[in-house]
A = this chain, B = another copy of it.
Amino acid sequence: MSEFLTPGGLEEALREIGRTRYHNLHPFHRLLHGGKLDRGQVQAWALNRFYYQSRIPAKDAALLARLPTAELRREWRRRLEDHDGHETSPGGVARWKALAVGVGLDPEAVESTRLILPATRFAVDAYVNFVRERSILEAIASSLTEMFSPNIIAERVSGMLANYDWITQDTLAYFTPRLTQAPRDVDFALAYVQQHADTPEKQQAVLAALRFKCDVLWSQLDALYFAYVEPGFVPPGAFTPAPERQAAGTLA
């Protein structure tokens, strides 16, 4: 059915998915980096996104457990180090927790994840299960949303610093190492799928895996928008911002 793509053609097809389905296109992202959200809405984003961050090591460990060679496992082990850190330096999960606390959330509420939207949990768990159950090729391909993350991070950090005077560079420290870690991860993962997707069917599976991962990210923003922007129906039991909600970008 599908033609076999050159390595460059496969990369271009992956980038086309990013141009049409990556969550930088989502209205919630535009509100966030455009300074249009109040503090409670930014808190809801940070709180829910913590669950995603906290499950990334589980996702990576599930794949690591299935990789066949020490060389591949060493490559993937770096991701665990990035996210779980070392005794002397915090990893991505701890840095995201600091971000959530920095925007005013209670550390226990963040860590327990008991107030997140059910849709966040279902989407993130779907990602972990995908990596656990699908082929190694599809699991690695699903990480390729990192091809598009440097742009979104740059937009997000500059937009948030410019528009919310209660957010500091320190609070956003999560993002700085990601700007170098993500391209390094992508170099490996992209070369891997270019080499191992050696039939049209496998190439289509790679593209489908990236679309799936875009859905995972997109649906998290759908749920945030629905609950906290418009129409603003918070599901039973989920985080409700404190009543004294502040105007966009200003301190009370």
Residues A222 and B235 in contact, CB atoms below 8 Å apart: yes
Residues A218 and B230 in contact, CB atoms below 8 Å apart: no
Note all chain B residues with C-beta closer than 8 A to A223: 119, 219, 222-223, 226
List the one stretch of A81-89, A190-198, A208-216 in contact with chain B: A208-216
A150 at the interface (CB under 8 A from B): no
Note all chain B residues with C-beta closer than 8 A to A230: 230-231
Helix, strand, loop or mixed for chain A's interface?
A: helix
Cα distance A237–B215 when bound, in Å?
10
Q: Which 3 A-B pairs have the closest CB atoms?
A: A118-B215, A122-B122, A226-B226
Please list the residues of chain A having a beta carbon within 8 angstroms of any beta carbon in chain B: 20-21, 27, 117-119, 121-123, 125-126, 129, 211, 214-216, 218-219, 222-223, 225-227, 230-231, 233, 235-237
* Given A118-B216, A119-B123, A231-B231; 20 other pairs, CB 8 A cutoff: A21-B237, A117-B219, A118-B215, A118-B218, A118-B219, A119-B122, A119-B219, A121-B126, A122-B122, A125-B126, A125-B129, A126-B126, A218-B235, A218-B236, A222-B223, A222-B226, A222-B233, A223-B223, A225-B226, A225-B231
